[in-house]
Amino acid sequence: SQQGEEDPQALSIQEGENATMNCSYKTSINNLQWYRQNSGRGLVHLILIRSNEREKHSGRLRVTLDTSKKSSSLLITASRAADTASYFCATDGPYSGGGADGLTFGKGTHLIIQP
């Protein structure tokens, strides 16, 4: 398995605080993406960062990528109760079955925003 690791596995903070989640991966990548999953629901794409980018912003989200350390971080600023969800990083391939376009997901961070 090429799964990455998210850190921390669970995070509980107060509304208004910033939340930082980290992700590490094992192989070289073309890009890294972050997804959100509300309990028992499908995935929502948040942001994609390419391997030649170091930082990217989207609204309250800030993603960094350090390819030398094979790691990425997701920062959510001014958190809201609605941000409560699980967050996954995902990288592209490789896969043994030849499904080179499938994603490899990290184990996820469960974020709880306390109102």
Among 3, 22, 64, 67, binds another protein (CB under 8 A): 3
Burial, 77: exposed, middle or buried (Cβ in 10 Å; 0-12, 13-18, 19+)?
A: middle
Query: Which single residue is written with the structure tokens 């995070």?
Result: 11
7 forms part of the interface with another protein (CB under 8 A): no
Alpha helix ranges (H) inside 1-115: none
Nearer to another protein, 68 or 96 (CB): 96
Nearer to another protein, 14 or 82 (CB): 82
Q: Are 68 and 88 in contact (CB under 8 A)?
A: no
Q: Give contact residues for another protein (rule: CB under 8 A).
A: 1, 3, 30-31, 33, 35, 40-45, 48, 88, 90, 92, 95-99, 101-108
